[in-house]
Amino acid sequence: MLFDIIDSIFIWYILILFEIILFTSYTLVTYIYSKKERNLAKIEDLPTVTLIIPMYNEEKVIKEKIENTYQLDYPDDKLEVIIIDDYSTDNSEKIALDNVNNNGFKVSVVKNEGGKGKARGLNWIFTKVSSEITVITDADAILKEDSLLQVVKNYSNTEIGGVTGKIVIISDKTRISKSQEDSYRHYFDLWRQGESNIASVSVCNGPLMSFRTKLLKKIKIDPNAYADDSDMLYKIIGLGYNVVYEKTAVVYERVPLTLKGRTIQKMKRINGLRKVYINNLKLLGKGKFGTIVYPYALLTHLISPIVVLLITIMYPLIIIKQPLYLGLLIILVVPKIGNLALSFVTTQLIMNFSFIIPTSGSWEAVEDARYELNSAKNK
């Protein structure tokens, strides 16, 4: 009986040790690299930019998005905005057309002719774009005024094929889900900055991402990937270019108001990201991305969730055998650390059960994040 207790506790220790080593080493490596400065040559002549806004049933937010777009700080003669209506069934198209004007840069509303779905719409519109840089942003995301300027400065480096921005969570309500997300975002930003300085990010922030247009014309987004942002990311990396994280290019994102909506949103993202990771195993071992960044991405997104699930399942059994281990729960009430721990465990557990949501996801989570903000926050 004693040996059974020792064996089960030993296995539990090994699983916890795996998680500690994995995330400590990952955080340490990315922290060290994040402190290195990327030397970027100053761009004397700003590149031409096309800002693409995919739109599907966005009547609650599209007016605010257009107003936000007109506030962007970028030369009018070098910026074009294209709103792609993806077969909306509400008043999105009418509201968009009513709020578009000819003051300043060109803004147009076009119907998706590439086939229903965001990926097909983007594949179609990429063939029409003639600018040097293509920026893609969500209809419910708010861009900081200088975000485009911060994005394009990275393209002075010819090895960079794409740039993704920093997400800041905003909401008109205070919720536990938001505080958990904020605590997680600190480490997300650190990891992405470190990955950028090593080679390339392993995750792309869909609300604000950009690529060299000439590269987008060489790829096709998989309509069944359900993670168009990361699918583009890995295809650009596959072409031999890096995609980097720009922390000063800020985009504000809404969080679903309900726990159910937030959970569904996470499941959708995880489903898509997991598929992209598995489809790009050929990148393993290639360059610094394939030998450092990508292996960590696979471990943290595919292996770690299973380990955390086993740790969680075994914990009640460990407590029964050794009640003193109940004291570990005190971590959850420690300021900041508690939110971070809860956010981490919750996210890892959700990864194990994301398969219960259809791969295409649910519109319920998207609808739950479509609400008007009293005002866009500028920081």
Vertex 164: Cα angle to 162 and 167 (nearest 5): 175
Closest by CA to 306, choosing from 30, 22, 24, is 22
Rounded percentage of the chain residues whose pLDDT exceeds 90: 61
- Going 196 to 201 to 204 to 205, the CA torsion angle's sign is negative
pLDDT digits (tens, 9 = 90+) for 216-263: 999 999 988 778 899 999 999 999 999 999 999 999 988 766 667 777
Average pLDDT, the chain: 86
**Residue 251 burial by Cβ neighbours in a 10 Å radius (0-12, 13-18, 19+):** buried
pLDDT (mean) for 271-285: 91
Q: What percent of the chain has pLDDT over 70?
A: 85
What are the structural domain ranges in the chain?
Answer: 49-179+205-255
Residue range 286-327, pLDDT digits in tens: 999 999 999 999 999 999 999 999 999 999 988 888 888 888
Of 98-107, 208-217, 253-262, 358-367, the range with the lowest mean pLDDT is: 358-367
Residue 42 pLDDT? 83
- Residue 205 gets which letter from DSSP? -
- Residue 180 — pLDDT band, cuts 50, 70, 90? low
As a whole number of angstroms, the distance between CA 207 and CA 142 comes to: 9
Confirm or reject CATH 1.10.287.70 for domain 49-179+205-255, answering yes or no: no
- Strand order across the 160-170 sheet: 106-111, 79-85, 49-55, 133-137, 208-212, 160-170, 242-254, 142-143
Burial of 56 (0-12, 13-18, 19+ CB in 10 A): buried
Asked if residue 165 lies in contact with residue 250, where contact means CB atoms within 8 angstroms, the answer is: yes
Instruction: Please say if the pLDDT value at position 140 is more than 80.
Output: yes
Instruction: Answer with the residue of higher pLDDT: 185 or 279.
Output: 279
Torsion of CA 232, 233, 236, 238, to 10 degrees: -110
The 10 Å Cβ neighbour count of residue 78 is 18
d(C-alpha 144, C-alpha 71), whole Å = 9
Per-residue pLDDT tens for 322-351? 888 888 777 766 776 777 777 788 888 888
- Contact, 206 vs 226, CB < 8 A? no
Whether the pLDDT of residue 376 is over 60: the answer is: no
Closest among 250, 260, 273 to 202, alpha carbons compared? 273
